[in-house]
């Protein structure tokens, strides 16, 4: 099994149970030195897509999943790895038990553009249901769309 750090819409446990049914949620953590942003507006259906970029003094709330080998291909397909929309990247996630190596999906596009209000609402709802701190969720809800 490999460890996957989910952010944005993939924080939704119900959604992840459909995308990776053999891969249990392990817990939550933070990507320190990264920030949530949007890009690839031309690739999205309703605006820009979520991604992360390195940013000192920033952090992104994540859910950690133990991805079973049988679910890796499904996750790659869902995220458009074969279509060159997203790529996998190794990161270190800070948890209460210490730092853990994990992989994330990062957009293969330039930062810029705004997400749709619906998409941003789904991201904020997913963060809230995953247990993100209230101030983090409120910052998501206040982002421009």
Residue 7 annotated as part of some ligand binding site: no
Least Cα distance to 89 among 34, 24, 10 occurs for 34
Q: Report helix, strand or coil for 86.
A: strand
Distance in angstroms (rounded) separating the CA atoms of residues 20 and 24:
8
Least Cα distance to 25 among 75, 84, 61, 66 occurs for 66
Out of 41, 46, 79, 122, pick the active-site residue. 79
Active site residue 79: yes
Distance in angstroms (rounded) separating the CA atoms of residues 43 and 67:
26
Annotated binding site: 119
Annotated binding site for substrate: 119
**Which positions are catalytic?**
79
């Amino acid at each position: 099994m490999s460890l996957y750090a989910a952010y944005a819409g993939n924080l939704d446990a119900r959604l992840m149970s459909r995308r990776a049914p053999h891969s249990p949620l392990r817990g939550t953590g933070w990507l320190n030195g990264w920030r949530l942003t949007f890009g690839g507006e031309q690739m999205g259906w309703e605006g820009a897509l979520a991604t992360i970029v390195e940013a000192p003094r920033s952090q992104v709330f994540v859910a950690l999943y133990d991805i079973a080998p049988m679910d890796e291909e499904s996750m790659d397909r869902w995220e458009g790895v074969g279509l060159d929309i997203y790529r996998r990247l190794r990161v270190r996630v800070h948890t209460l038990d210490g730092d853990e190596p994990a992989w994330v999906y990062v957009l293969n596009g330039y930062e810029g553009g705004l997400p749709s209000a619906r998409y941003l609402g789904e991201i904020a709802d997913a963060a809230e249901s995953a247990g993100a701190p209230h101030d983090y969720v409120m910052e998501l809800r206040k982002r421009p769309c």
